[in-house]
Every structure is written in structure tokens, then in C-alpha cells.
């Protein structure tokens, strides 16, 4: 019966007439770490990086008790997330899922564990709605694995906490907007936020879409068409997302701001209405 492979491991290679070095042994081959005998911690970091790079989650297993939740999330983040517009957001949502579910399998995904996860997150002063979004990421990862490498004998049901009612009565008054503008103008590092506040107040545009606005049509974000007084929130050719981003008429007061901002726009950042740069020779134009 052949001996079982030991897997990647550190080995101290002693050399005649030279200092000993740590190497990584894996299936009969050796890989230098560049770490001497006294640098065991650095050698262990090299081994960890090697294992992470080499490891590929299995995709042929069908038994739920043999499929690790961490592997399912890794496949989802590596294969599906890069094709979406929210790759960074999905990675952020997956971090606590891996922390809590990392040692569990798909057979452990059930009502009791989902409730325990929500309790664990709320003990960390995280809202249950955030935990809901994180569990939705877990559910999407399981469904992706089922479609791409299944079929699974049974798709585990991820139980979500109840969805909170939307705050339909929430809005900012003009005085509240003015207060936020005064706070943002106190420091030069935050004055660009004034433009973001005004665009959001007069157009209802989301913060992310506001930061991607350009002066001209593009394929990265929306743009302000000052010739026709139309605000395009989505990029040209962008796929349709769940939060719709329809174009709208530019409010008269916002239109005046946009004209002034474009006229005094710095040469260092000629495409974005909202930016951090400001001309050192020119006083900051008024925002309100």
C-alpha cells in the first residue's frame, strides 16, 4: 500500500560550508523560501502563501457533509464575483461568513446555525440587516455551486432574518443639508463632499453613482449633459442593475452649480465633477 502524501511542509535544508535555509517540500520537489534558519516565522508565511496559491477547491464532490462552506465561497468569489459590478462588496460580505462558517460544511447550513450566526453578528454590534445581506451572499454562493458543479442532492436552505421595513418617511430638510455642507467645508480634504451632497439632494442620485459622474459620455459612470440639462446616472452600455438608474432632468439650482463647477474645474482632474483636487491659485468656489 503506497504511503500517503504529507502535503506541503517546511524543511530545514542544511548545506555544507553555507548557512542553512528553510525550503518548502511538496511531492518530492523543493521550493526555496529565501529564509535562513533563524527566520522560521517568515518561512511559515512563505508556506502559507504557497498553500493559498496552490490550493484549488474540489468541484466533483456531491455529498453535502464533504463540501466545505469556505470552498463554496472561494469558488463563488473567484468565478462569479469578477463578472459583477459589486466584486469588492461581495468580498466584504463574505469575510464574516468565512470566519464563522469556515469550519463547517453544507450539511451544517440549516435554521439553527443561521440563527446562531445572526446572534453572533449582533453581539459584535452589527445590525441584523447586515447579517441578512451576508447570509444572502452565502445563499448565492451555494446556488452558484449547485448550478455550476451540481446538481447537489439537496440545496441547503439559508434562513434570513426578517427584512426591515423601508424608511419611506426619511428625507433631509434644507436646513439639514445646509448643516452638512457647513461641516464638509471646514476642511479642504472634505470640501468635495459638498458637491456630492448637492447632487444627491437635488437629483436623488446614490453616492456611488455620484462619485462616478463625468462631464462627458463614457462607459465607466454617468455624466452630466449640460447642453440638454439631463443627468445620466448610468454609464453608456452598462448592464441593467436592480437599483435602476434612470436619466432625469437637472434641477435648475443644481444646473447653476454644475455650470460653475465646470467653469472653475482644475486641469489635474478634467473629467469628474466630484474630486479631491483643488487649484492652489484659485479660491474654492461656493457650494451653496
Quick: pLDDT tens for 84-116. 867 888 888 988 998 898 889 999 999 999 999
User: What contacts 24+ positions apart, CB below 8 Å, involve 53-56?
Assistant: 54/8, 54/26
| Residue 232 pLDDT > 60 | yes
| DSSP strands (E only) in 95-247 | 223-225, 230-232
Residue 86's SS3 state is: coil
136 vs 36: which has the higher pLDDT: 136
| Residue 6 pLDDT > 90 | no
In this structure, are residues 215 and 206 in contact, taking their beta carbons and an 8 Å threshold?
Answer: no
| Among 50-54, 152-156, 234-238, 241-245, the least confident range | 241-245
In this prediction, residue 114 carries a pLDDT of 95
Mean pLDDT computed over every residue of the chain = 82
Q: How far apart are CA 14 and CA 11, in angstroms?
A: 9
Question: For residue 214, what are the β-bridge partners?
Answer: 223
The end-to-end CA distance of the chain, in Å, is 80
Question: For residue 15, what are the β-bridge partners?
Answer: 18
Quick: pLDDT tens for 19-36. 888 888 876 677 788 888
In this prediction, residue 282 carries a pLDDT of 36
In this prediction, residue 35 carries a pLDDT of 84
Amino acid at each position: 500500500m503506497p504511503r500517503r502524501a504529507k502535503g506541503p511542509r517546511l524543511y530545514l535544508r542544511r548545506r555544507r560550508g553555507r548557512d542553512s535555509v528553510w525550503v518548502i517540500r511538496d511531492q518530492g520537489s523543493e521550493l526555496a523560501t529565501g529564509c535562513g534558519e533563524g527566520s522560521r516565522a517568515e518561512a511559515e508565511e512563505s508556506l502559507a502563501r504557497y498553500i493559498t496559491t496552490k490550493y484549488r477547491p474540489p468541484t466533483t464532490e456531491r455529498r453535502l457533509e464533504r463540501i466545505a462552506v469556505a470552498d463554496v465561497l472561494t469558488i463563488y468569489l473567484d468565478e462569479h464575483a469578477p463578472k459583477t459590478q459589486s466584486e469588492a462588496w461581495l468580498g466584504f460580505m463574505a469575510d464574516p461568513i468565512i470566519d464563522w462558517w469556515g469550519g463547517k460544511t453544507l450539511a451544517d447550513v440549516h435554521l439553527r446555525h443561521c440563527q446562531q450566526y445572526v446572534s453572533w453578528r449582533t453581539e459584535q454590534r452589527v445590525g441584523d440587516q447586515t447579517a441578512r445581506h451576508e447570509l444572502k451572499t452565502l445563499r448565492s454562493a451555494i446556488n452558484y455551486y449547485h448550478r455550476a458543479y451540481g446538481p447537489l442532492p439537496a440545496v441547503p436552505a439559508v434562513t434570513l432574518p426578517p427584512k426591515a421595513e423601508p424608511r419611506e418617511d426619511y428625507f433631509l430638510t434644507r436646513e439639514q443639508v445646509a448643516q452638512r455642507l457647513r461641516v464638509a467645508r471646514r476642511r479642504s480634504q472634505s470640501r468635495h463632499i459638498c458637491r456630492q451632497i448637492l447632487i444627491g439632494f437635488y437629483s436623488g442620485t446614490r453616492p456611488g453613482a455620484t462619485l462616478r459622474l463625468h462631464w462627458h459620455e463614457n462607459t465607466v459612470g454617468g455624466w452630466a449633459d449640460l447642453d440638454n440639462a439631463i443627468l445620466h446616472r448610468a454609464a453608456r452600455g452598462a448592464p441593467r442593475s436592480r437599483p435602476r438608474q434612470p436619466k432625469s432632468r437637472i434641477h435648475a439650482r443644481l444646473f447653476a452649480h454644475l455650470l460653475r463647477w465646470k467653469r472653475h474645474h482644475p486641469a489635474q482632474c478634467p473629467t469628474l465633477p466630484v474630486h479631491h483636487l483643488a487649484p492652489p491659485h484659485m479660491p474654492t468656489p461656493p457650494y451653496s
